[in-house]
Amino acid sequence: MTLQLTVPNMACSACASTITKALQAVDANASVQADPTTKLVSVQTQASETAIKEALAAAGYPVA
């Protein structure tokens, strides 16, 4: 499934990298595109939406 999430705390490419690593820890095969300019994260994953949102929150990037 593909999720489109808004992450207001994402400010730079380092944030995007941290988000990508956090999501790939939940699903190693996840395809993640994180754009600090638009604050949007697109995730193609087999993990549940809840697991993805929890991973983002644990990394310090809660979903809006």
Which domains does the chain possess? Answer: 2-58 (3.30.70.100)
8 Å CB contact between 56 and 9: no
The tens digit of pLDDT for each residue in 22-35 reads 999 999 999 999 99
Distance CA 58, CA 37 (A): 22
DSSP string, 21-35: HHHHHH-TT-EEEEE
- Do 43 and 31 form a contact (C-beta atoms < 8 A)? yes
**pLDDT at residue 21, as a whole number:** 98
Entry pTM? 0.94
**Residue 18: which H helix or E strand, with range?**
helix 13-26
Burial class (CB in 10 A: 0-12, 13-18, 19+), 34: buried
Q: What are the pLDDT digits (tens) for 33-52? A: 999 999 999 999 999 999 99
- The whole-number pLDDT of residue 17 equals 98
